[in-house]
């Protein structure tokens, strides 16, 4: 039995990652390892309901050579589930008949935890909600609420994620401790990443670097990797150095994952050819393979390319296309097409002189931008007043 303050890693979010890998045909080179790991993890946590769901809704996820093993595993694990749930029900019944509220709460939480572990989504969510209503301690109810958030992350159910993060925030205000507050920051960061709000996520990830304990949600190295990837995009150069590059947590992890170090430092040190090569590797190895980041991979790569272009263009009034192509280690045609796309969409303040092969920067005045905004907003206000006057008079 886990200690009162121990946060169990249930449901096992690695299982959801293995399922994502197997469902993605672009990751076929990872399928064999993912399939093996999936069945091992499912057996370890008695996840018969989840395996049944996979076999009924996404049978192609399980490789054909393992399908027979998977069906045999369902039968074996279903027997374990039945026996354990019967024992938990009897324990709850005994607590209700002869014990007090504390014992009833413990029995309810034990049953909810088991249903969560085996991947019985609806029953687990209902059991966790019931257990929360019968649990007096604020800390314990925060833990239950965060478990509901993890169930939401596991099944990509934002109807569970959003309200329960909000509920956890309210409970923290009533009396949560520092550890639970710091855990909640990580949960909120992952929610913002899933919603593509990298700015808010980056701030929370930085705040959690030195206090991270939410290993029930994400592995430490993966967490620091997220902090690097997200903050490389959203932090200003000086803040990137202070908050990320100089962080001892980041320094340690980039030794284990040198690709992240190459990506981070090549952009910061303006080694753009190395940065483009590292970005391509980050996309293939870290973004597209991640269940959390994959939906945002194309957006992220585009935005970080714009960041790199802006960084070099800010240093010069003009540059030749040839020098830019050499700096980024790509062809002149690629640079021409890429810059043209971002210029036409208003993302880069520069123009291209194709005749002379020159890129000229065009930094807009901050005062001019404020004036343009004022004029636009003033026009909207005047139009609204005119419409209102016609209605009144």
pTM (predicted TM-score): 0.88
Helices (H), the chain: 13-23, 31-44, 48-57, 64-98, 101-118, 121-133, 138-155, 158-175, 178-194, 198-208, 220-234, 237-239, 248-256, 258-268, 272-282, 297-313, 321-328, 332-344, 366-392
CATH 1.25.40.10 fits 1-171, yes or no: no
Task: Answer for the pair 271, 329: CB distance below 8 angstroms, yes or no.
Answer: no
Within this chain, domains 1-171 and 316-361 share the same CATH topology: no
Residue ranges of the domains in the chain?
A: 1-171, 316-361
pLDDT in tens, the chain (393 residues): 444 567 889 999 999 999 999 999 999 999 999 999 999 999 999 999 999 999 998 888 888 888 888 999 999 999 999 999 999 999 999 999 888 889 999 999 999 999 999 999 999 999 999 999 999 889 999 999 999 999 999 999 999 999 999 999 999 998 878 999 999 999 999 999 999 999 999 999 999 999 999 999 999 999 999 999 999 999 999 999 999 999 999 999 999 999 999 999 999 999 999 999 999 999 999 999 999 999 999 999 999 999 999 999 988 889 999 999 999 999 999 999 999 999 999 999 999 988 888 999 886 654 555 655 666 677 767 777 776 666 665
Residue 361, strand partner residues: 350
CB-based contacts of 340, cutoff 8 Å, min separation 6: 352
Question: Considering the domain 316-361, what is its CATH architecture?
Answer: Orthogonal Bundle (1.10)
């Amino acid at each position: 039995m886990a200690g009162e303050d121990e946060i169990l890693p249930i449901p096992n979010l690695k299982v959801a990652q293995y399922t994502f890998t197997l469902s993605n045909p672009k990751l076929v080179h990872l399928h064999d390892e993912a399939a093996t790991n999936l069945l091992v993890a499912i057996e370890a946590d008695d996840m018969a309901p989840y395996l049944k769901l996979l076999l009924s809704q996404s049978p192609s996820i399980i490789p054909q050579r393992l399908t027979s093993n998977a069906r045999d595993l369902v039968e074996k694990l279903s027997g374990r589930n039945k026996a354990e749930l019967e024992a938990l029900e009897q324990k709850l019944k005994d607590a209700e008949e002869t014990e007090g509220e504390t014992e009833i709460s413990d029995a309810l939480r034990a049953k909810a935890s088991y249903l969560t572990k085996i991947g019985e989504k609806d029953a687990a969510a209902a059991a966790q909600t019931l257990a929360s209503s019968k649990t007096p301690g604020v800390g314990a109810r925060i833990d239950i609420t965060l478990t509901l958030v993890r169930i939401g992350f596991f099944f990509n159910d934002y109807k569970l994620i959003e309200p329960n993060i909000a509920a956890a925030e309210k409970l923290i205000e009533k009396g949560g401790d520092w550890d639970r507050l710091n855990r909640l920051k990580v949960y909120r960061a992952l929610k913002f990443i899933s919603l593509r709000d990298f700015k808010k996520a980056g701030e929370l990830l930085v705040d959690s670097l030195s206090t991270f304990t939410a290993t029930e949600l994400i592995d430490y190295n993966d967490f620091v990797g997220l902090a690097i990837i997200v903050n490389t995009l959203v932090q200003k150069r000086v803040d990137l150095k202070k908050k990320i590059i100089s962080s001892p947590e980041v320094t340690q992890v980039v030794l284990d994952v040198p690709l992240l170090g190459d990506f981070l430092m090549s952009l910061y040190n303006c080694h753009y050819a190395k940065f483009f090569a590292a970005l391509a590797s980050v996309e293939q190895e870290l973004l597209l393979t991640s269940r959390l980041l994959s939906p945002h991979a194309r957006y992220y790569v585009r935005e970080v390319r714009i960041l790199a272009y802006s960084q070099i263009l800010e240093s010069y009034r003009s540059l030749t296309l040839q020098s830019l192509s050499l700096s980024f280690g790509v062809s002149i045609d690629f640079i021409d097409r890429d810059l043209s796309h971002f210029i036409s969409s208003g993302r880069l303040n520069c123009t291209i002189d194709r005749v002379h092969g020159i890129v000229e920067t065009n930094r807009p005045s901050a005062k001019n931008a404020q004036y343009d905004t004022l004029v636009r907003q003033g026009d909207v206000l005047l139009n609204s007043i005119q419409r209102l006057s016609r209605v009144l008079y």
